[in-house]
Amino acid sequence: MQDTSETADPLPDVSLRYVRVTRLRPDGFVEFDFAIGDPALSAELILGRKDFESFCALNATLPFPAEAAARAEAEHRTYLYGDAGATQAT
């Protein structure tokens, strides 16, 4: 059996919680991405503004790192517009 302890990727730090607001809706809801440990793996969520603020406080969230936020935005544009959308401005 091969020892992979030195070649395996380190486990993400699950104590780190990231948030990236993607839209503030006029009806008072906040659309956002939430990630635990690795900002590359996030879930899209929606909460009312007060619930969002409580959620962020409870989870001691950090803003997405700039590189992860840019990557997530590019992936979102590709999802919406196809490969050409990755170069379109929002």
Residue 6 is assigned to a structural domain of this protein: no
Tell me the mean pLDDT in the region 21-37. Answer: 96
**pLDDT digits 0-9 by tens, 37-57:** 988 889 999 999 999 999 999
Position 47 in a domain: yes
Instruction: Return the pLDDT at 9.
Output: 76
Its domain, for residue 55, covers: 17-87
Q: What is the pTM of this model?
A: 0.72
Number of C-alpha atoms within 13 angstroms, CB side, residue 29?
A: 6
Total number of domains constituting the chain: 1
Does some domain include residue 45? Answer: yes
Residue, of 89 and 43, whose pLDDT is higher: 43
Q: What pLDDT is recorded for position 65?
A: 83
Whether residue 10 lies inside any domain: the answer is: no
Tokens of 81: 């517009």
Contact 62, 78 (CB under 8 A): no
Question: Is residue 15 predicted with pLDDT exceeding 80?
Answer: yes
Residue 1 lies in a domain: no
